[in-house]
Structure 1
Amino acid sequence: MLSRLTRLPRPAALAVCAVPVLGLFAAAAFAPLPFVVAVPGLTADVLGSDQGKPVITVSGAPVRDTKGQLRMTTIRATGPSSTMTLPELVGHWFKTDQAVMPREAVYSSGGSDEEIEKHNLEEMARSQSAAADAALGFLHKDPKDVKVDLNLADVGGPSAGLLFSLGIIDKLDGDGSGGDLTGGRNIAGTGTITADGKVGAVGGVALKTQAARRDGASVFLVPRDECGDAQSELPEGLQLVPVTSLTDAVNALRALNRGEPAPSC
């Protein structure tokens, strides 16, 4: 014998069904998501000093005094183990001085905080070696005769490569005619560098342009493939110069020194 089922009124039935659905939405809204928040980070003049030591030291060749600045730029992000909920993500998304980025885009090596720091320092060391090779190759100087030491504490990753190379060139050769490669300007930028002088993309350029302008830069060298990102939140008064190689960057700065137009995004 079957017992008779009690049928709920339709509104009540919908309400009962909605309870678990709302519970799922609530759980999803407050579930930890693998995103980090990034903000404009520090900039550092590679022609200057860091913690009392010159960032660039050259031996085996005469160096020149420089007057301008070449500022490498960084972003600062929440830690690799951090997460955020959907409401937090939405709250940060619309702020122009912040960027919500997938965790793996910032911490691609994965692992613990210590492992990531070690990886970033190794990347910086490789970048410095490539930067020195690229600069000396551009100047046709033998790396057996000319030694370059680069010192920049508390910064990891490869994105300062282009600025290191430009700093070495400015120390050794300037604009090729006795003047500063910078023309006395405050120049900033970002980009990886290979030993043969190719410039690569880095990410976070919209935040880096903000850091550059905050610290007084008037020109920003950007990997050409990242022009769109750099333009998205471009601060007023900052000129974007796209480059694909070290030669591009040097030629653009020399053109600016002569009062000629440089490439633009």
Structure 2
Amino acid sequence: MSRRAATLTVASVLVLVLALVGSLMPVPYVALMPGPTSNTLGTNEKGEPLIKIDGRRTYDDKGHLNFVTVTYRGGPGGRIDLFTALRGWLQSDTAIVPEETIFPKNESQKQVDQENVRQMQDSQQSAEAAALNELGIKLSTQTVVNSVQKGMPAEGRLQPGDEIVSLDGTKITSTSQVTDLMAKRKIGASAALTVKRSGKEQKVTLTTAADPTGKRPVVGVVLGDQYKFPFKIDISVGDVGGPSAGLMFSLAIIDKLTPESMTGGKFIAGTGTITAEGKVGPIGGIQQKMVAARKAGATTFLTPKGNCSDAKAAKPDGLRLVRADTLHGARESIAALNGGKGEIPSC
């Protein structure tokens, strides 16, 4: 065998070995790719309205208000191989990110999935509250126990789902109010609570303990605000998690509750978290979400202000970016797109 032939043979073997190693070597990265997109004005996988409202008159809209998602490959339970990561780096619609970006250390994939489900549930409630606030429909809030910490005074006395009715005789209307009232007492002082459980009120008196810093009096509960709506709103999105569809949920609820067509028949997609006050927040995976929206047919994409820089740099052809700072602003921008007055802020 000539020296040249021997060199080619050795090189070929090395390439094959490297290819085999690359296909088997797991790496601590996750591939983010465009995920499914769904019309909040349409139906879910079961053919049921994605957003269903009972107890209030609703109106149809033939247009689209799509929320978009990101899908991923990899993670602690099934890491991608080196070649998959390298291929993803070369694809414009795929992002390869460190594993801890999606799966924080000391958290399992199951825990991350559970947190995503919780965030979706919270975002739906915030979206409903934001929509009703935007329309001037009155709603009330209640402060409930989300979790009880082990080894703290509330353990065995309070439980998740308990509504905090009053503290030391003061009616409670928000979590922040409880925080303010608790901060006024000394560590070791009592806290007289009235809680509602299964529709019945009961009194619970707890002795406060010190928080981990040793400076603040606490009883060992994590509280959250829940909203009491004057009619029923159901949002069914299937196996989708995270808080980033909040803005689109709010817009769809408003559209269903008002006789005018919000979309004017247009295909509008978007993303962004939402607070009950209607403030829009940034999200992750903006590049992949824009790609998913454009592939589905969207021509307008509502973009949180905090994502504008990345979105502008990766905008697909044929997709107009409209900056969304608030729910009210997004609503006005859509009206302007349909021929109404007002400016349309862009990224």
TM (norm. structure 2) is: 0.63
Deviation by residue 1:122-159 (Cα, 9 ceiling, x = unmatched): 11100100000000000011234232111110111111
Secondary structure (helix, strand or coil) at the match of 1:53 reads: coil
The answer to whether the 8 A contact 2:247-2:271 is kept is yes
- Is 2:59 the partner of 1:96? no
Secondary structure (helix, strand or coil) at the match of 2:101 reads: helix
CA gap of 1:110–1:184, structure 2 versus 1, over 3 A, is farther
1:141 is matched with: 137
Counterpart of 2:60, as a letter, is: D
- Is 2:327 the partner of 1:249? no
2:39 is matched with: 45
The answer to whether the 8 A contact 2:74-2:80 is kept is no
CA gap of 1:241–1:109, structure 2 versus 1, over 3 A, is farther
- Of 53-62 and 244-253, deviating more is 53-62
1:156 is matched with: 241
Could you tell me which runs of 5 or more consecutive residues in structure 1 were left unpaired when the two chains were aligned: 1-26
> How many Å apart are 1:186 and its aligned residue?
0.8
2:64 is matched with: 69
Distance 1:38 1:107 in 2: 13
Distance 1:233 1:84 in 2: 25
Percent identical pairs in the alignment equals: 42
The answer to whether the 8 A contact 1:206-1:231 is kept is no
CA gap of 1:222–1:114, structure 2 versus 1, over 3 A, is same
Aligned length: 233
Distance 1:128 1:109 in 2: 27
1:263 is matched with: 345
> How many Å apart are 1:34 and its aligned residue?
2.6
Poorly superposed stretches of 4+, deviation over 6 Å: none
- Is 2:200 the partner of 1:119? no
Deviation by residue 1:189-210 (Cα, 9 ceiling, x = unmatched): 1111111111111111111110
- Of 78-87 and 200-209, deviating more is 78-87
The answer to whether the 8 A contact 1:130-1:195 is kept is yes
Counterpart of 1:133, as a letter, is: A
The answer to whether the 8 A contact 2:119-2:243 is kept is yes
The answer to whether the 8 A contact 2:37-2:292 is kept is yes
> How many Å apart are 1:118 and its aligned residue?
1.6
CA gap of 1:95–1:133, structure 2 versus 1, over 3 A, is same
Q: 2:50 aligns with which of 49, 55, 61?
A: 55
> How many Å apart are 1:91 and its aligned residue?
3.5
TM (norm. structure 1) is: 0.81
1:13 is matched with: none
Identify the structure with the greater helix proportion: 1
- Is 2:162 the partner of 1:80? no
> How many Å apart are 1:230 and its aligned residue?
1.1
Distance 1:258 1:128 in 2: 30
> How many Å apart are 1:108 and its aligned residue?
4.5
Counterpart of 1:232, as a letter, is: A
CA gap of 1:108–1:45, structure 2 versus 1, over 3 A, is farther
Identify the structure with the greater strand proportion: 2
Distance 1:193 1:130 in 2: 6
Secondary structure (helix, strand or coil) at the match of 1:78 reads: strand
Could you tell me which runs of 5 or more consecutive residues in structure 2 were left unpaired when the two chains were aligned: 1-20, 140-228
Distance 2:344 2:40 in 1: 22
Secondary structure (helix, strand or coil) at the match of 1:63 reads: coil
